[in-house]
């Protein structure tokens, strides 16, 4: 019986690696946590372009939380879980800030059509997130916002 339990744990370990971090809603903490996540992914053999793209989408999602959920208040808590499974890389971000209604509908930004004065200085975040992830899921969990971003990985980039 105990042997079976051991096997189960070992299987679970091999198939999913997790990094869990909680930070305050401060931009400098966002920069720091992104460094920790990229180091961790690099250490587990994920190749650099996937690490950089995950860093970018995670940065966009965390910036949104700091700006829109906590309105730059610096005492908000943000929980981040990065999960690595064969063929999948997932980041889950949970905050207790203002209620979020979920990602806005996709809109194309043809910047070439803007006049010089109207060139957009923001509003790129969700386009970048959608471009570099395979799945974007949002749920309101009690009083919390929870965003889950999933990126499929080819075999060559998966867990060692």
The site for another protein (CB under 8 A) is made up of 27-28, 30-31, 34, 49, 52-53, 55-56, 59-60, 63, 66-67, 109-112, 116-117, 119-122, 124-125, 127-128, 131-132
Of residues 62 and 153, the one with the C-beta less far from another protein:
62
Of residues 15 and 72, the one with the C-beta less far from another protein:
72
Q: Cβ 39 to another protein, closest distance in Å?
A: 13
Q: Cβ 104 to another protein, closest distance in Å?
A: 14
- Cα separations (Å) of 4 from 8, 11, 85, 112? 6, 11, 22, 61
The dihedral formed by the CA atoms of 138, 154, 82 and 48, expressed in degrees to the nearest 10: -120
Q: Cβ 12 to another protein, closest distance in Å?
A: 32
Of residues 121 and 160, the one with the C-beta less far from another protein:
121
Q: Cβ 69 to another protein, closest distance in Å?
A: 14
Token pair of 46 as six digits: 């994920």
Task: Return all residues near 146 (Cβ < 8 A) that are at least 6 apart.
Answer: 92, 93, 94, 138, 139, 140
Q: Are 93 and 78 in contact (CB under 8 A)?
A: yes
Of residues 81 and 128, the one with the C-beta less far from another protein:
128
């Amino acid at each position: 019986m105990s042997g079976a339990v051991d096997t189960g744990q070992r299987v679970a370990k091999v198939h999913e690696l997790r990094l869990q971090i909680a930070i305050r809603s401060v931009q400098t903490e966002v920069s720091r946590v992104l460094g920790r996540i990229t180091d961790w992914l690099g250490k587990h053999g994920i190749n650099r372009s996937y690490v950089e793209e995950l860093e970018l989408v995670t940065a966009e999602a965390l910036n949104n939380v700091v700006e829109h959920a906590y309105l730059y208040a610096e005492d908000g808590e943000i929980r981040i879980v990065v999960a690595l499974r064969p063929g999948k890389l997932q980041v889950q971000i949970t905050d207790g800030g203002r209620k979020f209604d979920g990602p806005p509908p996709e809109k194309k930004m043809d910047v070439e059509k803007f006049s010089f004065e109207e060139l957009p200085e923001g509003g790129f975040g969700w386009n970048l997130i959608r471009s570099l992830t395979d799945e974007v899921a949002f749920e309101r969990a009690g009083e919390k916002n929870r965003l889950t971003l999933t990126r499929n990985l080819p075999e060559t980039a998966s867990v060692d």
